[in-house]
Structure 1
Amino acid sequence: MEVTRASFVMVAMFSLIFSVFFPAAMAQSAPPAPAPTSDGTAIDQGIAYVLMLVALVLTYIIH
């Protein structure tokens, strides 16, 4: 019984000392997410490519 009480006291003291001297190790937050890199120009360019392809196909069909 004495060994259990002594080990409990040692664990309690160790955790107290660890939490006082290393508080950042106990609770670390994740870094913030990076900002989005798309500003809409890629979407506009994709739509332009599709419209040009449609115009090319229509021109080929008409002639």
Structure 2
Amino acid sequence: MEGTAVARLSAVIFFLFFMVGIVRGKAQDSSSPAPAPISNGMAVDQGIAYILMFVALLLTYLLH
């Protein structure tokens, strides 16, 4: 019996600390929003893909 009471008490303490951490994390979300990203990574990836496709097309044309 005593082991389950200790386990239950430790679970309750863990839950309370976990909830306090969540509440404190949510409280910090009310600050100013994050700055906008300087460069769009997706556009850079798409540009690299277009360059690679152009190089592949050029090599195919030259080797044929």
User: TM-score, normalized by length of structure 1?
Assistant: 0.42
User: TM-score, normalized by length of structure 2?
Assistant: 0.42
More helix by share: 2
**Over alpha carbons, which structure has the higher Rg?**
1
